[in-house]
């Protein structure tokens, strides 16, 4: 390759990497392993946790985009073997207290994240705004990091979930919906998640929304169970947890979601 072509390729690469956090070149991914289709270290979640209830929102149209998301070929959930083993321990734990786990999402292929990015860039697509982000202008979703070019879900050891009350035969009331874009979804909304103390402080809510002491405690029941069995929480979403010792911390997988055959 001659020198002129080398300089041309270098210039193109610099332009791509200069486009910001939505490309694969941003600094957080500098050590990332190449995307892979390898499913051998994954399991179908319900094979490992048979008591889990699935409500895979991104297979349905009831999500913040309003349509089925790319890469969700079947209404199932996948996790790395290590994360699934730890989640089985959580399931056994909460089942003894009268609850079951209800799963909204687990492994998420990169093509699904790319779908989110395309949707967020289209400011005219606001059909689901009343249900998931009524207090936000869609133009701030990138700036406030509700939508990003990479997701921990794509590494295979993150799960979005809630609790199902077996006695009442319905979801435990968490005071907010999965994928609500706003401070009301933060674990520290109206309380201190480190101590479990309810404070009622709703000053962060732009619309003056609040949750009750019971709803805050319900979030804490889920949080404490997940932390007891090796999961780490996210500071912006009460439903989101990642295995602390995740086996693929730098790998973003690309295979679609469907029942595994192995």
Handedness of CA 166, 168, 173, 177 (dihedral sign): positive
Residue 16, H or E segment:
helix 3-17
Task: Determine whether 208 is exposed, middle or buried from the number of CB atoms within 10 Å of its CB (0-12, 13-18, 19+).
Answer: exposed
Our answer to whether residue 237 is catalytic in this structure is: yes
Selected catalytic residue, list 67, 89, 171, 237 = 237
CA-closest candidate to residue 159, choices 74, 57, 9, 41: 57
Task: Identify whether the C-beta of residue 238 lies closer than 8 Å to the C-beta of residue 187.
Answer: yes
Q: How far is CA 209 from CA 42, 119, 142, in A?
A: 39, 27, 23
Distance CA 216, CA 220 (A): 6
Distance CA 151, CA 113 (A): 7
Distance CA 238, CA 248 (A): 23
Q: Which residues are catalytic?
A: 237
């Amino acid at each position: 390759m001659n020198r002129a072509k080398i300089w041309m390729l270098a210039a193109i690469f610099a332009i791509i990497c200069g486009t910001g956090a939505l490309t694969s070149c941003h600094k957080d991914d500098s050590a990332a392993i190449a995307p892979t289709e390898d499913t051998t270290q994954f399991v179908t979640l319900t094979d490992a946790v048979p008591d889990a209830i699935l409500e895979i929102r991104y297979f349905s149209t009831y999500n913040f985009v309003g349509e089925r998301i790319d890469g969700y070929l079947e209404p199932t959930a996948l996790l790395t073997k290590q994360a699934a083993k730890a989640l089985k321990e959580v399931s056994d734990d909460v089942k003894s207290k009268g609850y079951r786990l209800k799963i909204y999402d687990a492994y998420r292929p990169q093509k699904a994240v790319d779908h989110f990015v395309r949707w967020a860039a289209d400011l005219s697509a606001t059909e689901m705004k009343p249900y998931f982000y009524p207090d936000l202008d869609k133009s701030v979703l990138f700036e406030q990091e509700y939508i990003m070019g990479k997701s921990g879900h794509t590494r295979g050891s993150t799960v979005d979930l809630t609790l199902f009350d077996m006695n009442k035969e319905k979801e435990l009331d968490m005071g907010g919906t999965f994928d609500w874009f706003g401070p009301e979804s933060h674990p520290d909304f109206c309380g201190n998640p480190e101590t479990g103390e309810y404070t009622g402080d709703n000053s962060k809510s732009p619309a003056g929304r609040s949750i009750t002491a019971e709803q805050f405690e319900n979030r804490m029941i889920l949080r404490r169970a997940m932390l007891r069995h090796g999961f780490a929480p996210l500071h912006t979403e009460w439903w989101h947890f990642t295995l602390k010792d995740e086996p693929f911390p730098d790998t973003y997988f690309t295979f679609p979601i469907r029942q595994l055959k192995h």
